[in-house]
Structure 1
Protein backbone atom coordinates (compact mmCIF):
# COMPACT_ATOMS: atom_id res chain seq x y z
CA UNK A 1 0.00 0.00 0.00
CA UNK A 2 1.37 3.39 -1.04
CA UNK A 3 0.39 6.14 1.44
CA UNK A 4 1.29 8.91 -1.03
CA UNK A 5 -0.95 7.38 -3.69
CA UNK A 6 -3.83 6.87 -1.27
CA UNK A 7 -3.72 10.42 0.07
CA UNK A 8 -3.34 12.00 -3.35
CA UNK A 9 -6.14 9.91 -4.85
CA UNK A 10 -8.41 10.71 -1.90
CA UNK A 11 -7.71 14.42 -2.52
CA UNK A 12 -8.55 14.08 -6.22
CA UNK A 13 -11.66 11.96 -5.55
CA UNK A 14 -13.02 14.50 -3.08
CA UNK A 15 -12.15 17.45 -5.31
CA UNK A 16 -13.66 16.15 -8.53
CA UNK A 17 -16.63 14.13 -7.25
CA UNK A 18 -17.78 17.04 -5.07
CA UNK A 19 -17.36 19.49 -7.95
CA UNK A 20 -19.22 17.19 -10.34
CA UNK A 21 -22.00 16.64 -7.82
CA UNK A 22 -22.33 20.41 -7.37
CA UNK A 23 -22.68 20.85 -11.13
CA UNK A 24 -25.37 18.15 -11.28
CA UNK A 25 -27.31 19.45 -8.27
CA UNK A 26 -27.28 23.09 -9.45
CA UNK A 27 -26.96 22.76 -13.22
CA UNK A 28 -29.11 25.80 -14.01
CA UNK A 29 -27.33 28.00 -11.48
CA UNK A 30 -23.94 26.98 -12.82
CA UNK A 31 -24.98 27.57 -16.44
CA UNK A 32 -26.42 30.97 -15.56
CA UNK A 33 -23.30 32.09 -13.69
CA UNK A 34 -20.97 30.75 -16.38
CA UNK A 35 -22.91 32.46 -19.18
CA UNK A 36 -22.21 35.73 -17.43
CA UNK A 37 -18.60 34.75 -16.70
CA UNK A 38 -17.91 33.88 -20.36
CA UNK A 39 -20.15 36.54 -21.96
CA UNK A 40 -17.21 38.31 -23.58
CA UNK A 41 -15.43 35.17 -24.83
CA UNK A 42 -15.68 32.70 -27.69
CA UNK A 43 -17.45 30.31 -25.28
CA UNK A 44 -20.43 32.61 -24.73
CA UNK A 45 -22.75 30.53 -26.95
CA UNK A 46 -21.38 27.15 -25.86
CA UNK A 47 -21.49 27.30 -22.06
CA UNK A 48 -23.81 24.30 -21.50
CA UNK A 49 -21.73 22.09 -23.83
CA UNK A 50 -18.46 23.22 -22.23
CA UNK A 51 -19.88 22.63 -18.77
CA UNK A 52 -21.02 19.14 -19.77
CA UNK A 53 -17.52 18.31 -21.01
CA UNK A 54 -15.96 19.54 -17.77
CA UNK A 55 -18.57 17.64 -15.74
CA UNK A 56 -17.83 14.40 -17.60
CA UNK A 57 -14.08 14.84 -17.10
CA UNK A 58 -14.54 15.56 -13.40
CA UNK A 59 -16.68 12.47 -12.87
CA UNK A 60 -14.21 10.28 -14.78
CA UNK A 61 -11.28 11.70 -12.79
CA UNK A 62 -13.09 11.21 -9.48
CA UNK A 63 -14.24 7.67 -10.25
CA UNK A 64 -10.77 6.71 -11.46
CA UNK A 65 -9.33 8.11 -8.23
CA UNK A 66 -11.70 5.95 -6.15
CA UNK A 67 -10.89 2.93 -8.29
CA UNK A 68 -7.19 3.75 -7.91
CA UNK A 69 -7.55 3.73 -4.13
CA UNK A 70 -9.22 0.33 -4.24
CA UNK A 71 -6.61 -1.01 -6.68
CA UNK A 72 -3.76 0.26 -4.52
CA UNK A 73 -5.18 -1.33 -1.37
CA UNK A 74 -6.01 -4.66 -2.99
CA UNK A 75 -3.12 -5.20 -5.41
CA UNK A 76 -0.55 -2.49 -4.54
CA UNK A 77 -0.77 -1.25 -8.13
CA UNK A 78 -1.02 2.42 -9.10
CA UNK A 79 -2.08 2.12 -12.74
CA UNK A 80 -5.63 3.41 -12.24
CA UNK A 81 -4.28 6.08 -9.91
CA UNK A 82 -1.93 7.23 -12.64
CA UNK A 83 -4.86 7.44 -15.06
CA UNK A 84 -6.81 9.41 -12.45
CA UNK A 85 -3.94 11.89 -12.18
CA UNK A 86 -3.70 12.24 -15.96
CA UNK A 87 -7.44 12.86 -16.40
CA UNK A 88 -7.30 15.28 -13.47
CA UNK A 89 -4.52 17.23 -15.19
CA UNK A 90 -6.48 17.39 -18.45
CA UNK A 91 -9.58 18.55 -16.57
CA UNK A 92 -7.63 21.23 -14.75
CA UNK A 93 -6.07 22.41 -18.00
CA UNK A 94 -9.56 22.82 -19.49
CA UNK A 95 -10.58 24.82 -16.41
CA UNK A 96 -7.39 26.89 -16.56
CA UNK A 97 -8.00 27.65 -20.24
CA UNK A 98 -11.52 28.84 -19.43
CA UNK A 99 -10.38 31.07 -16.59
CA UNK A 100 -7.62 32.61 -18.71
CA UNK A 101 -10.07 33.11 -21.57
CA UNK A 102 -12.44 34.93 -19.21
CA UNK A 103 -9.49 36.95 -17.89
CA UNK A 104 -10.19 35.63 -14.39
CA UNK A 105 -6.57 35.51 -13.32
CA UNK A 106 -7.35 34.89 -9.63
CA UNK A 107 -9.45 31.89 -10.65
CA UNK A 108 -6.66 30.66 -12.91
CA UNK A 109 -4.18 30.97 -10.05
CA UNK A 110 -6.43 28.88 -7.84
CA UNK A 111 -6.53 26.09 -10.45
CA UNK A 112 -2.73 25.93 -10.38
CA UNK A 113 -2.96 24.99 -6.69
CA UNK A 114 -4.94 21.88 -7.69
CA UNK A 115 -2.75 21.19 -10.71
CA UNK A 116 0.46 20.85 -8.67
CA UNK A 117 -0.55 17.69 -6.74
CA UNK A 118 -2.19 16.19 -9.84
CA UNK A 119 0.94 16.62 -11.96
CA UNK A 120 3.10 15.30 -9.11
CA UNK A 121 0.85 12.24 -9.13
CA UNK A 122 1.52 11.72 -12.83
CA UNK A 123 5.24 11.94 -12.12
CA UNK A 124 5.34 9.74 -8.98
CA UNK A 125 2.72 7.15 -9.78
Structure 2
Protein backbone atom coordinates (compact mmCIF):
# COMPACT_ATOMS: atom_id res chain seq x y z
CA UNK A 1 0.00 0.00 0.00
CA UNK A 2 2.94 2.35 0.65
CA UNK A 3 4.12 2.05 -2.96
CA UNK A 4 0.64 2.97 -4.18
CA UNK A 5 0.49 6.07 -1.98
CA UNK A 6 4.08 7.08 -2.79
CA UNK A 7 3.38 6.82 -6.53
CA UNK A 8 -0.22 8.07 -6.62
CA UNK A 9 0.51 10.99 -8.96
CA UNK A 10 2.43 8.82 -11.43
CA UNK A 11 -0.23 6.10 -11.27
CA UNK A 12 -3.02 8.60 -11.90
CA UNK A 13 -1.21 10.06 -14.91
CA UNK A 14 -0.53 6.54 -16.23
CA UNK A 15 -4.24 5.75 -15.89
CA UNK A 16 -5.07 8.92 -17.84
CA UNK A 17 -2.62 7.95 -20.59
CA UNK A 18 -3.84 4.36 -20.57
CA UNK A 19 -7.43 5.46 -21.14
CA UNK A 20 -6.35 7.94 -23.81
CA UNK A 21 -4.22 5.57 -25.89
CA UNK A 22 -6.17 2.36 -25.34
CA UNK A 23 -9.43 4.01 -26.41
CA UNK A 24 -7.74 5.62 -29.40
CA UNK A 25 -6.15 2.34 -30.47
CA UNK A 26 -9.36 0.37 -30.05
CA UNK A 27 -11.25 3.00 -32.06
CA UNK A 28 -8.71 2.69 -34.89
CA UNK A 29 -9.09 -1.11 -34.88
CA UNK A 30 -12.89 -1.10 -34.74
CA UNK A 31 -13.38 1.71 -37.28
CA UNK A 32 -10.27 1.36 -39.45
CA UNK A 33 -12.08 2.33 -42.66
CA UNK A 34 -13.73 5.36 -41.08
CA UNK A 35 -10.50 6.61 -39.55
CA UNK A 36 -8.57 5.96 -42.76
CA UNK A 37 -11.14 7.81 -44.88
CA UNK A 38 -11.23 10.81 -42.57
CA UNK A 39 -7.44 11.02 -42.36
CA UNK A 40 -6.97 10.65 -46.13
CA UNK A 41 -9.24 13.66 -46.57
CA UNK A 42 -7.58 15.53 -43.68
CA UNK A 43 -4.10 15.11 -45.21
CA UNK A 44 -5.07 15.17 -48.90
CA UNK A 45 -3.39 18.50 -49.59
CA UNK A 46 -0.17 17.62 -47.74
CA UNK A 47 2.93 15.61 -48.59
CA UNK A 48 1.62 12.93 -46.20
CA UNK A 49 -1.56 12.31 -48.21
CA UNK A 50 -0.30 9.13 -49.87
CA UNK A 51 1.27 7.78 -46.67
CA UNK A 52 -1.87 7.82 -44.50
CA UNK A 53 -2.37 4.01 -44.28
CA UNK A 54 1.26 3.46 -43.23
CA UNK A 55 1.25 6.37 -40.79
CA UNK A 56 -2.07 5.27 -39.27
CA UNK A 57 -0.63 1.78 -38.76
CA UNK A 58 2.46 3.21 -37.06
CA UNK A 59 0.36 5.41 -34.77
CA UNK A 60 -1.92 2.47 -33.91
CA UNK A 61 1.04 0.26 -33.00
CA UNK A 62 2.75 2.87 -30.83
CA UNK A 63 -0.54 3.76 -29.11
CA UNK A 64 -1.15 0.12 -28.20
CA UNK A 65 2.46 -0.36 -27.04
CA UNK A 66 2.11 2.78 -24.92
CA UNK A 67 -1.13 1.47 -23.38
CA UNK A 68 0.50 -1.87 -22.53
CA UNK A 69 3.50 -0.07 -21.00
CA UNK A 70 1.08 2.03 -18.90
CA UNK A 71 -0.48 -1.13 -17.46
CA UNK A 72 2.93 -2.68 -16.78
CA UNK A 73 4.18 0.63 -15.37
CA UNK A 74 1.27 0.83 -12.92
CA UNK A 75 1.89 -2.76 -11.85
CA UNK A 76 5.61 -2.22 -11.20
CA UNK A 77 5.06 1.06 -9.38
CA UNK A 78 2.67 -0.67 -6.99
CA UNK A 79 4.38 -4.07 -6.70
CA UNK A 80 8.04 -3.10 -6.72
CA UNK A 81 8.28 0.71 -6.62
CA UNK A 82 10.12 0.39 -9.95
CA UNK A 83 9.78 3.28 -12.41
CA UNK A 84 11.34 1.72 -15.53
CA UNK A 85 8.08 0.92 -17.36
CA UNK A 86 6.38 4.07 -16.11
CA UNK A 87 9.18 6.17 -17.60
CA UNK A 88 8.97 4.18 -20.84
CA UNK A 89 5.18 4.57 -21.02
CA UNK A 90 5.28 8.31 -20.45
CA UNK A 91 8.15 8.77 -22.89
CA UNK A 92 6.27 6.79 -25.56
CA UNK A 93 3.17 8.87 -24.84
CA UNK A 94 5.20 12.04 -25.42
CA UNK A 95 6.65 10.67 -28.68
CA UNK A 96 3.20 9.59 -29.89
CA UNK A 97 1.72 12.97 -29.08
CA UNK A 98 4.58 14.74 -30.84
CA UNK A 99 3.90 12.62 -33.94
CA UNK A 100 0.21 13.55 -33.79
CA UNK A 101 1.06 17.21 -33.22
CA UNK A 102 3.35 17.17 -36.24
CA UNK A 103 0.53 15.78 -38.37
CA UNK A 104 -1.97 18.34 -37.17
CA UNK A 105 0.45 21.18 -37.84
CA UNK A 106 1.19 19.85 -41.35
CA UNK A 107 -2.56 19.63 -42.01
CA UNK A 108 -2.90 23.18 -40.66
CA UNK A 109 -5.43 21.96 -38.09
CA UNK A 110 -4.35 24.36 -35.39
CA UNK A 111 -7.32 23.61 -33.11
CA UNK A 112 -6.48 19.90 -33.26
CA UNK A 113 -2.84 20.73 -32.50
CA UNK A 114 -3.94 22.75 -29.47
CA UNK A 115 -5.93 19.79 -28.17
CA UNK A 116 -2.92 17.50 -28.52
CA UNK A 117 -0.82 20.06 -26.67
CA UNK A 118 -3.11 19.68 -23.63
CA UNK A 119 -2.46 15.92 -23.60
CA UNK A 120 1.26 16.55 -24.09
CA UNK A 121 1.42 18.79 -21.02
CA UNK A 122 -0.01 15.95 -18.91
CA UNK A 123 2.40 13.40 -20.43
CA UNK A 124 5.50 15.57 -20.03
CA UNK A 125 4.52 16.41 -16.45
CA UNK A 126 4.12 12.69 -15.80
CA UNK A 127 7.53 12.01 -17.28
CA UNK A 128 9.00 14.68 -15.02
CA UNK A 129 7.26 13.34 -11.91
CA UNK A 130 8.23 9.71 -12.48
CA UNK A 131 11.83 10.68 -13.30
CA UNK A 132 12.42 12.42 -9.96
Question: TM-score scaled by structure 2?
Answer: 0.93
Instruction: Indicate the residue corresponding to 2:122 in structure 1.
Output: 117
Larger radius of gyration: 2
Of 28, 37, 43, which aligns to 2:48?
43
Of 21, 30, 37, which aligns to 2:26?
21
Of 72, 86, 104, which aligns to 2:91?
86
Distance, in Å, in 1 between the alignment partners of 2:36 and 2:122 is 28
Of 53, 60, 72, which aligns to 2:58?
53
Distance, in Å, in 2 between the alignment partners of 1:58 and 1:113 is 17
Stretches (4+) displaced over 4 A = none
- Per the TM alignment, residue 24 of structure 1 is displaced from its structure 2 partner at its CA by 0.3
Of 65, 69, 83, which aligns to 1:64?
69
What stretches of structure 2 of length at least 5 have no aligned partner?
A: none
- Per the TM alignment, residue 123 of structure 1 is displaced from its structure 2 partner at its CA by 1.3
Matched, 1:107 2:128: no
What stretches of structure 1 of length at least 5 have no aligned partner?
A: none
- Per the TM alignment, residue 78 of structure 1 is displaced from its structure 2 partner at its CA by 1.5
- Count matched residues: 125
* Residues 58-95 of structure 1: per-residue CA shift (max 9 Å, x gap): 00111100100011111011110010000000000000
Aligned-residue RMSD, C-alpha: 0.6
